[in-house]
Amino acid sequence: MKDIHGRRSWPWWRSQIIQKYRNDTWIWLKTLSLGNDRYKVDKDPYDWCLRQSKRLIAIDPHITTEMRNQKILTKLAGDLEHAVKCRCFKESTLDEISTTFQEERIRTYIGRYNTHGTSDNRENPTLEAKETHDSEYQIATGFHNCESPKHCSDNFAKDREEIFAREEETRQDREGH
């Protein structure tokens, strides 16, 4: 094929490859790769957006720019998606969206996933969950787990006891007067 057509540009060759090898299995594999690729902090936003855009165009060549941008933005984390959508128009180009995305990533901490707690457990379930705070810190600040079966979150129980004691005193003062 190269001997017949000679030197051509990459977009021409890309369209020829898509026309020749585009079948249901190929589209299904592109759809899977699109669905499995989530944005990670260590990736460059522009490259990631461009890769997702090319996959969407390969799956559906007649997709509108607005729909393509919408599908790319839905692959981001919720807060990051919201921040980028608020700063861009629906008719924005991919360059504008990726630039906005990169600015949000650099200026804010949005989109950076928490690395504490049970995040290691998802990747390797044999690891034990890490403590987010050491016990000395919890004792020093009065922060501790109530360990009641009905309560599933950590709380500031000592502070609550003080508040309830003050409320009890004020109620007794009102009744006494």
Q: What is the pLDDT of residue 111?
A: 53
CA 77 to chain centre: 2
The token duo for 100 is 């906005």
Instruction: For residue 16, give every residue at least 6 positions away whose Cβ sits within 8 Å of its Cβ, in sequence order, or none.
Output: 1
Residue 103 has pLDDT above 60, yes or no: yes
CA 88, chain centre distance (Å): 18
Residue 151 pLDDT more than 60? no
Residue 164 pLDDT > 80, yes or no?
Answer: no
- Residues facing 155 on adjacent strands: 144
Q: Mean pLDDT, the chain, as a whole number?
A: 71
User: Measured over all CA atoms, what is the biggest interatomic distance in the chain, rounded to whole angstroms?
Assistant: 103
The predicted structure's pLDDT at residue 144: 46
Name the pLDDT band for 70 (thresholds 50, 70, 90). Answer: confident
DSSP secondary structure string for all residues of 60-96? -TT--HHHHHHHHHTTS-HHHHHHHHHHS-TT--HHH
Across the range 39-58, mean pLDDT stands at 84
pLDDT band at 122 (very low <50, low <70, confident <90, very high): low
Q: Are 16 and 45 in contact (CB under 8 A)?
A: no
How far is residue 112's CA from residue 45's CA, in Å, rounded to a whole number? 13
Question: What per-residue confidence (pLDDT) applies to 177?
Answer: 59
pLDDT for the residue 10: 85
pLDDT (0 to 100) of residue 24: 79
Pairwise pLDDT comparison (113 vs 33), residue with the higher score:
33
Residue 101 to residue 87: CA distance in whole angstroms? 9
Both tokens of 52, joined, read 């997702």
Q: Is the pLDDT of residue 130 over 50?
A: no
Structure tokens at 23: 């079948």
pLDDT surpassing 80 at residue 121: no
DSSP state of 17: H
Indicate if the pLDDT at residue 110 is higher than 70: no
Q: Under a CB-based contact definition with an 8 Å cutoff, are residues 61 and 33 in contact?
A: no
Distance CA 75, CA 35 (A): 8
pLDDT at 59: 85
Gap between the Cα atoms of 162 and 154, Å rounded: 17
Q: pTM for the whole thing?
A: 0.51
